[in-house]
A and B are shown apart, each in its own frame.
Chain A
Amino acid sequence: MYNIAERQMERSVILKLELGYIDIKDIKFADKSEIKDGILYVNTEELKKLVLEDEDIKSVAFDIAKPGESVRITPVKDVIEPRVKISGRGGVFPGVIGPVDTVGDGVTYALRGMAVVTAGKIVGFQEGLIDMSGPGAAYTPFSKLNNLVLVCDPIDGIKQHEYEHAVRFAGLKAAVYLGELARNLKADETKVFETCGIVEGLTKYPGLPRVAYVQMLQSQGLMHDTYVYGVDAKKIVPTILHPTESMDGAILSGNCVSACDKNPTYVHENNSVVADLFAEHGKTLNFVCQIITNENVYLADKRRSSDWTAKLCKMLNLDGVILSQEGFGNPDTDLIMNCKKIEAEGVKVVMITDEYAGQDGKSQSLADADAVADACVTAGNANQVIVLPKMDKVIGVVEQVPKLAGSNEHSLRPDGTIEAEIQIITGATNETGFGTLSAR
């Protein structure tokens, strides 16, 4: 006889991912691409051939930027951590490089301590800056990584969106090429992440609060897009992911505008809310799932997405969520809508955002507000002005800087110093709580 109750209790739908870290201490150019004793050796000719497969890219130059060096990288398009799928379904960056298969289980390796940084002028403004030393280094997490920088030049007459696409793929392909070099290595450290199914979670952790991570994804248009399994986030309706899917690159960045609060692919791969919720999973909370939603410009879309997000929270019997947003201005409206509607379902919300309180810190930080949003973590005021000293070397194009957000034509001084808002620094006020910057 088919006993449903028994079957539900026996049937395990746990999704388990073992994430192995290969620690990279240094990067060197060499004749053969390989990873040996923690050093990444790169044959740039091979990598160049791979990148130039795309006819929209006229030329590409490679450079290395290490923590502590007097180096400035600008304009930054994306930052990606090379990963490789050792076992389990699919491959990294599913639906884009890897096949469409659902990811998030098996074994994946990550090259920890390094990143691929794509730099290249797509539009004349707002693409971010990473200082590897000096006062600016504290404001970006990427100053602590060994960065392999790809500076891409477009062919003449190319359209902005075509070039954006080309640079995006160049970075991902490079990351996959480098990740592949780790395939036969032994991981320096391994962490295991398990997501339970609904029934199993309830039976395993009956007394623990059911918590989910609601992640709002930027989705407005050129330079403002995010991709989930290759699908443009503008087109999705709010849905559920296993949190480990993002560790295999299921969510990718197509946006960098403005640099301080956009999530580069690296942040999606290493989402800190996911990491910190997993750290408490089974102990103080039951990390049920990740819910993703978007931030479309069309108002009816905002209403629909926030209604659906709240509906999912209710149907999953959640007790609380951490809600993160991405961007400035109109996403503030989505943030407050999501917060209000989720709280209205009896699910408690803590939100993470950044602020635009003006250079004097006196203006209202968000474009929208509501008393129900009583639990807020802030990543700091993006309008804070900073003076960045001249760096000995600039990788990319320094003349771009006056056109970075929060800077003006006087920002780049003749002596090479930059005076601008921290908006221009990649990752400075990241709204997934990736960094330690805050404000009161």
Chain B
Amino acid sequence: MIITNNPLVKANLPEETKIVYMKCSYKDILIKVRDLCYAGFLLKTHPLSGSVKPNETPYKSIMVSDASTGKTDFDSCELISNAISTYEKFAKLPDKWPKEVLLDFQVVDLSLMQNALKSIDL
């Protein structure tokens, strides 16, 4: 299941992929994933994917397990908590990106998620 705020991801991933699309901020995505981890979902991709820094790109897509395992996975919780701490240490930059640059961010984020999906193709 992909949690994302990237409209390009919503539009371009294969039909069968379960997508939860939210019109929200980068941080909101991290928080949503954190809450899912507490509820027993497993983290499948690293929340800090990509080197475009958290205070630059507004888009984030994270893959979690399709359903809750019923038990909280400590590693998943730790990863997402650390990701939120890492997000918070970056200086807040005003995000007034022109449209083309926003599209670029979407394209890179989509590429990262598409490649992650390839890893589970088998």
Q: Which residue of B lies closest to A232 (CB)?
A: B115
In the complex, number of A-B residue pairs with CB atoms less than 8 Å apart:
133
Q: Which residue of B lies closest to A328 (CB)?
A: B51
Residue pair A297, B46 in contact (C-beta under 8 Å): yes
B43 to chain A, nearest CB (A): 6
CA distance A223 to B112 in the complex (A): 10
Residue pair B89, A408 in contact (C-beta under 8 Å): no
Residue pair A221, B111 in contact (C-beta under 8 Å): yes
- 19 interchain pairs, CB-CB under 8 A: A123-B108, A124-B100, A125-B104, A125-B105, A160-B104, A221-B112, A224-B50, A257-B108, A297-B49, A298-B119, A299-B43, A299-B46, A330-B46, A330-B48, A330-B50, A333-B79, A405-B51, A405-B53, A409-B96
User: Given A299-B45, A358-B89 in contact, is the A368-B52 Cβ separation under 8 Å?
Assistant: no
Q: Which residue of B lies closest to A382 (CB)?
A: B53
Let me know if B82 is at the binding interface, CB within 8 A: yes
Residue pair A223, B48 in contact (C-beta under 8 Å): no
Residue pair A358, B90 in contact (C-beta under 8 Å): yes
Q: Which residue of A lies closest to B78 (CB)?
A: A368
CA distance A125 to B53 in the complex (A): 11
Q: Which of A19-27, A144-152, A359-367 contacts B (4 or more CB under 8 A)?
A: A359-367
Given contacts A220-B112, A255-B51, 12 further A-B contacts (CB under 8 A): A123-B108, A126-B51, A222-B111, A224-B51, A234-B119, A297-B46, A298-B63, A367-B83, A367-B86, A403-B97, A403-B101, A409-B94
Residue pair A262, B51 in contact (C-beta under 8 Å): yes
Q: Which residue of B lies closest to A326 (CB)?
A: B51
Q: Residue A220 contacts which of B50, B63, B83, B101 (CB distance < 8 angstroms)?
A: B50
User: Given A123-B107, A328-B51, A330-B48 in contact, is the A297-B116 Cβ separation under 8 Å?
Assistant: yes
Residue pair B56, A125 in contact (C-beta under 8 Å): yes
In chain B, positions 4-61 with a C-beta closer than 8 Å to chain A are 43-53, 56
Residues of A contacting B44 with CB < 8 Å?
298-300
Residue pair B104, A298 in contact (C-beta under 8 Å): no
Residues of B contacting A405 with CB < 8 Å?
51-53, 56
Residue pair A329, B86 in contact (C-beta under 8 Å): yes
Let me know if A356 is at the binding interface, CB within 8 A: yes
Residue pair A367, B48 in contact (C-beta under 8 Å): yes
Residue pair B114, A408 in contact (C-beta under 8 Å): no
Residue pair B52, A125 in contact (C-beta under 8 Å): yes
Residues of B contacting A358 with CB < 8 Å?
89-91
Residue pair A408, B93 in contact (C-beta under 8 Å): yes
Residues of A contacting B120 with CB < 8 Å?
298, 300
Residue pair B53, A406 in contact (C-beta under 8 Å): yes
In chain A, positions 141-179 with a C-beta closer than 8 Å to chain B are 160-161
Let me know if A281 is at the binding interface, CB within 8 A: no
Q: Which residue of A lies closest to B76 (CB)?
A: A299
In chain A, positions 188-235 with a C-beta closer than 8 Å to chain B are 218, 220-224, 234
Residues of B contacting A302 with CB < 8 Å?
46
Q: Residue B107 contacts which of A160, A299, A409 (CB distance < 8 angstroms)?
A: A160
User: Given A296-B116, A358-B91 in contact, is the A124-B51 Cβ separation under 8 Å?
Assistant: no
Q: Residue B111 contacts which of A161, A330, A363 (CB distance < 8 angstroms)?
A: A161
Residue pair B108, A222 in contact (C-beta under 8 Å): yes
Let me know if B98 is at the binding interface, CB within 8 A: yes
User: Given A258-B52, A299-B45, A330-B46 in contact, is the A124-B101 Cβ separation under 8 Å?
Assistant: yes
CA distance A423 to B119 in the complex (A): 30
User: Given A123-B107, A160-B104, A358-B90 in contact, is the A220-B115 Cβ separation under 8 Å?
Assistant: yes
Residue pair B115, A297 in contact (C-beta under 8 Å): yes
Let me know if A63 is at the binding interface, CB within 8 A: no
Interface 0/1 of A324-335, CB less than 8 Å to B? 000111101100
Please give me the 9 A-B residue pairs with the lowest Cβ-Cβ distance, nearest first: A329-B48, A124-B101, A330-B46, A363-B89, A222-B111, A221-B111, A123-B104, A298-B119, A221-B112
